[in-house]
Every structure is written in C-alpha cells, then in structure tokens.
Chain A
C-alpha cells in the first residue's frame, strides 16, 4: 500500500473517532430526552408535531406496540412513495417529457428507500423528477435512518432497564432523532458540500456549448447537495445522479470525497459510543467499536492494495499502471482521476461496511479481489458499522451469540450487560442473522436458474455470477450498492430484490424488538467471578471471530464461484 494511502486511511480514522465520540454522547442525550443546548430552540416544533399527531411522547410502548408502530410507519411511507412515483408526471415541478415511474421500478424503489437500502433500479437524472427526489426520496433518507436509530434505542433500553415492560416511545424517538440529529447535521454537511462545488438549484439543467465543436449540450442539475448530505449521513446511499458520488457535480474533488466519506461512517461509529452511554458503561461501546474496526481496517488495506496493483489483463499492453509523481496509477477503469485508487478503494469498503451503498467508483470494474472485500463486508450482515442503528443492533445480536458460544464452552448460562441470555433470545438472534443470509443465497440461486435474470448480467464468466451475488447480498442486507453492469430494471429483479430488501429489514427488526421486550422484563444478574467480561480484548477477539466465522462458512462457497474463480482466470 502506498504512503499516500496509509496517511489517508490513518487521518480518516483519526478524524472519524474525534467526531464520533462527542456525537455519540450527544445522540445519547437526544434518546434520553435530555436538554440539548442551543438546539432546544427546536423544542416548540417538537411539541407541535406531537400535538398534531396526537402523540404523548412520555407514553411507554411495549415491544409489541413499538413493533406495530415501526411497521405501520414504514408501510405508510412505502405506499406514499409508490404513489408519488406513479403520479410524478402530473404533479408540479415535473420537467417536460418525464413519465410516471413504471410499476415494477416504483415498487422496488419504494421498498428500497423505506428500508434504508437505496438500491436504485433507475438512473436518477433520467427517471425521477426533482420533486420526487426531494419530497419522496430525500424524506425517506431521513426517516428510514431515524427508524433504524429508534429501533436501536429500543433494543438498548431492553438491556439497560430492569424489570420493565416499556421500551420507550417510537414516535418520540423518530421525531427527536430527525429533528435534533439528522436535520442539523445534514444542513451543515450540505452547505459545506456546496462550497466544494456540489450543485444545489431548483433548475434541472444548464445548456452549454462544447469548446471543441459539436454544438450545445445539456448538463443535468438539481437540488443535489441537500440529498447527498443525508444520503451519506443516514447510510442511505441513493444518489441524485445515475453514477452516484462518482458524478463530478455530486462529488467534485477529493476534499469533497473525504467529507462525504466521513459522513458515511460518522453516525454508525458514533452510535457505538451512544450505546456505551445508554448502558452506563462506556467500555462496552468502545469494545464494539474496536471489534468493527478490527474487521474494517484489514479489509480496507486489502482492497487498496489489490486496486493499486492494477489490472493484470492490461499488463500485456503498453499501458503504464504504476504510481509516480505524475500519476496515481492502479486499476483506473471505473474510477475518477480526482479521487485516485486509494480514496476510491477506501470509499468502496466504507460504503459496504456501513450499509450506505453510495459509490465514487464502479465496483463492477474492480479487480476480482478488490471487489471481493466490499462484497464480503456486505455479506457479513452489515454489522461492521452497518446502517445507522441497524448496524449496531446487528452487531449486538452477534455479541449475544458470542456470549452464548462462550457460555457453551464453560457450561454456564450466558449473560450480556447483566442480562441472562436464554433460549428465546438465541433463537431470535439466529433467525435475525440467518434470514438475510438465506435470502442472499437462495435469491442468487433462483436468479442463476432463471434465463432472463442471467441475460441481465453484463460481464461474461464468473464475474456475471458475481454481479448476481452482489445484487442479492446488497438487497438482503440493505446496502444498496451494486455491480452496476447488471440490468436490474426488469420484472424479475425489481420484485425479487424488493422482497429481499423487505426480508433483510423487517425480519431483523421484529426479532430484535422481541428480544428487547424479553430482556427489559428481566432483573439483572449480579456480577460474579464466572461472568464473562464483555469489554476485554478477549471478548473483542471472540466477537470478531464469530462474525468472520459465520460470514466465511456461509459465503465462501459462493465467493469461490464468483470473485475467486475470476481471479484465477486472470493472467
């Protein structure tokens, strides 16, 4: 790995930690309903929202009530977004010639944005109107992220509370997270991005004359910065333009790229520290954060190294892929010169570790091993930082599994954060962890036996299979990035991937809240000499081991047929 890349990764992680720790503390105050300093000016808005919605924020919800509220809110969101897309041609601000989104793509997109996936079976600047992007997609970028954080909050309350039946109030969590965390952060990030050159206008294009002849050309514009800020912060990832953050008006420089990269991991990293605060033991949050880092850093280093080495298939030609003072070098197909290989590869792992899914380079064109790491990071279940909220509750399910396995080794009833882990919790955790994995593998298997689905791939040989595997991994784990050569706009993929996204979101949320309800009712177990401490390097190692082992056992056979086979075919 080049010195540039090492420095960039090091600075990135340092800045990330420096921002995530205070933000984590702040989010804990938001979730506890405490006073928020200068942002208390928004308190009248909060109270007004509760009043018109007929909500009493202090009303405690049971696990079942909380789940019902989450599901109903998501259903209403998906229906509204579907309707907006189908009607976009007849509502105001519609540019001429933009039609209604076809039903299959509209279903897929409605599910995709309400599940915080942001898989895009469409090209933003060619399919959606600016109004759809603003009041449809941008809104879900906020609230689907807030839903994730709310579910996390309820889950953590299950550990933190003693002999309780209430898990908090979903509406209050939703409103407070949106109002006090997501909106202020997005406002700041959006304006900083505009300063770097990201466009923000209500106009939809500019007409320019080409310098080298060839007449006039249209440059698509729009309210881009506001959507980009929240797509990064909320681990949504759905870009304004077709090529997402590779588009120069969505991500104009390596400085803009660095800011957007920070925004990808900022909230997922901060929530680890929020978790520590909420269970009144900061060390627990640090341990989970370090476990995530221990998986993230090696896979990032591997990806950067693979891409810096360049494409062996071009080595036979008189092409110079080496790095020097005059060029970054490396595998530049599908990458932008202003980012270079190092920032592109760092982005590829950050966006797949978090379930963000925005891209600043085309993962489809990565070297086989460079593309394997992002794919596997998704398949690990989006728990290495993961989606806002969803990543951490996923990782805590792995922690539950890890104490269970440790308990089996020594023959003791496992405990986590003072709560006894029993049969019900383990069953629910296993369901939540295996359903996305099953949806990935079974979906990919169904696709490769469906001629239309195979015909939609764009590359021959093992890489075509990788495109399919990536699509189902991305959908079932709510990531949203793609090996984008695959044409996913046909009926098979819009429906199958839509179902995979639904399973990957709600078949995890329901068991998570069920566990929370059971745990909250339990009285804490007093610490004893036999308690496995869950903040030590030993536990971090155990947690990392469980995540990697489950990920490897489940997916190595499929990966062998895709990226690994492709790697072996290269010269």
Chain B
C-alpha cells in the first residue's frame, strides 16, 4: 500500500518537541468520556454495523444470509445445504454420528462430544458404530472410513468423505433396488474436491446426495 513514505509529514529527523502531559481533567470528566464513548460504540458497532451488514447481505446475498435453505421438488423446505440432518433409513446415505443432545443433529443446540482420544468411551462408541454399519450391510467388510465412526465438532457436519459415501453404496442400492454402479456414479458426481486444490478435505454433501438419490429413484425410500 505505502512502501515509500509520503512527502507531507515531517521527516523523523526534524525532532519535533516532545509532548508533555497536561494536568488531569478529574474523575468526572474521565467517567463522562468513558460512558459517552461506550454509548457511541454501542450505536456504531452494536447497531449500525450489524444492521448495515444485514441490509447489504439481505439485498445482495439473500440466499446465503438466510441459511442456504434447500427446497425439495414438492416445495417443502427440507433443511439447509450447510447443516447436516439425521438420516437413518437404509435407503439414504447416512451422515456422521452427531453429539448434539438429546436429539442428534439438533441445529438449535450445536455440540461436540469432547471425548478425549484416550477416553475408553470413544473407542467403545466407535466399535458400536462399526458394528451398526456392518449389520446394516453384511457385504461392507472393508475398514470403515474414520469420518463415519467419529462425531464432528458441531454435531451438524453436512458432509462425509467420498470414502464414507462409497462405503454405503451397496446398502443404499439394495434398499432402493438400484444398480450399485449407478449409485456409485451418483456419489462420484457429488464429490467436492478441496478448494483451489489444497483447502480442506474432499467431501460429499449428504443432503444434496440424498435429494439426488430421491430424484434418481423417483421418490423417497420405503420406510
């Protein structure tokens, strides 16, 4: 921005007179300055600033500013593209386990598990989840991708890894009566690579994938 000094200010070598403190102005004047400037900051930073951001955001970027809500084919608002939600039907891809309580994926009360790596409860929960995934699909015998057995930081992770989605393909395809190769291709279409090639991990948005699956299968899975 300003690699070279401007011409107007006096150069440092001109030795301006050194400032001397003036006598104090008293406690009341100091208190007045503190109270008035806090009140002014409240108006400027607490009201005008967020309202200005809200105004511009609502006019220019209304979709993002209101939560990136997703509307299904039948017109229902089925959630936010950015916020995970629970899926338990075998015919849907499942997201990661969620630590929000008491309901999983509670978008009104985000929470992580905060289980330490050394906590036996973590290993026990992961083992149970491995068993659950295996029971739902006896053909899935390979190692389970880590994201499917660990809870996210928010309890609202909208994504799983591509490996986590591919792991579930046979279960979903059987439940839907679809060709596994077709479902696998659908997963591949929904893989988002790291941004710019290096930011973040590859991922699949579970809600978008399941909406596409409903379109492919011609409706929601039988419950």
Q: A314-B123, A340-B200 are in contact. Are A334 and B78 (CB under 8 A)?
A: no
How many angstroms between the C-alpha atoms of A341 and B195 in the bound complex?
A: 15
The distance from the CB of A39 to the nearest CB of chain B, in whole angstroms, is: 12
Quick one: which of A126, A142, A199, A484 contacts B65, CB cutoff 8 A? A199
Partner of A333, one of B19, B115, B160, B163: B115
- Assuming the contacts A73-B37, A194-B53, asked whether A328 and B202 have C-beta atoms less than 8 A apart, the reply is yes
B residues bordering A, Cβ < 8 Å?
1-2, 8-9, 12, 18-22, 24-25, 27, 29-38, 40-42, 44-47, 49-50, 52-54, 56-58, 61, 64-69, 72, 76-80, 82-89, 92, 96, 105-120, 122-123, 126-127, 130, 142-147, 149-164, 166, 194-196, 198-203, 207, 210-211, 214, 220, 223
How far is it, in angstroms, between the C-alpha of A332 and the C-alpha of B153 when the chains are bound?
A: 9
Neighbouring A residues of B120 by C-beta, 8 Å: 460
Of the candidate stretches A132-140, A385-393, A427-435, A545-553, the one touching chain B is A132-140
Q: Within the complex, which residue of B44, B47, B86 is in contact with A212, where a contact is CB–CB below 8 Å?
A: B86
Query: In this complex, what residue of B is CB-closest to A186?
Result: B49
Chain B residues whose CB sits within 8 angstroms of the CB of A339 once the complex forms: 200-201
Contact of B58 among A201, A214, A484 (CB under 8 A): A201
With A65-B24, A218-B108, A458-B114 already in contact, the answer to whether A202 and B146 are too (CB < 8 A) is no
Chain B residues lying within 8 Å of A99, measured Cβ to Cβ, are none
Question: Which residues from chain A contact B117 at a C-beta distance below 8 Å?
Answer: 311-313, 331, 333, 365-368, 566, 570
A325, B202: Cβ atoms closer than 8 Å? yes
- A53 in contact with B49 (CB, 8 Å): no
B88: A residues at CB distance < 8 A: 212
Rounded to whole angstroms, the CA-CA distance of A321 and B146 in the bound complex is 5
Q: How far is the CA of A22 from the CA of B2 in the complex (A)?
A: 7
Q: List 25 A-B contacts (CB under 8 A).
A: A55-B33, A138-B45, A142-B41, A178-B41, A187-B52, A194-B57, A199-B65, A206-B66, A209-B76, A209-B77, A211-B214, A242-B110, A246-B153, A248-B83, A248-B156, A252-B68, A317-B123, A320-B146, A321-B146, A324-B163, A326-B145, A328-B161, A364-B116, A367-B117, A462-B118
Q: Are B115 and A243 in contact (CB under 8 A)?
A: no
Chain A residues numbered 202-244 whose CB sits less than 8 Å from any CB in chain B: 202-203, 205-214, 217-221, 223, 225-227, 229-230, 241-243
A211-B85, A213-B223, A223-B53 known; A257 and B110 CB under 8 Å?
A: no
Most chain A beta-carbon contacts within 10 A, residue among B57, B198, B201: B201
Contact B109 A126 (CB under 8 A): yes
Q: Which of B35, B84, B119, B199 contacts A248 (CB 8 A)?
A: B84
- Taken residue by residue from 463 to 486, chain A's Cβ proximity to chain B (1 for < 8 Å, 0 otherwise) reads as 100100000000000000001110
- Pairwise interchain contact B69-A206, C-beta atoms closer than 8 A: yes
For residue B14, give the distance in angstroms from its CB to the closest CB of chain A. 12
B163 partner residues in chain A, CB cutoff 8 A: 320, 324, 326-327
Contact partner of A362 (CB less than 8 A), chosen from B87, B112, B166, is B112
A343 at the interface (CB under 8 A from B): yes
Q: How far is the CB of B41 from chain A (nearest CB, A)?
A: 5
A359 touches B64 (CB 8 A): no
Flag whether A561 is at the interface (Cβ < 8 A). no
CB <8 Å contact, A314 and B146: yes
With both beta carbons as reference points, the residue of chain B lying nearest to A311 in the complex is identified as B117
Complex alpha-carbon distance, A343 and B149, angstroms = 20
A300 → chain B, closest Cβ, in Å?
16
With A and B bound together, what is the CA distance between A26 and B3 in angstroms? 11
Nearest-neighbour CB distance to chain B for A381, whole angstroms, equals 26
A484, B160: Cα distance in complex, Å: 24
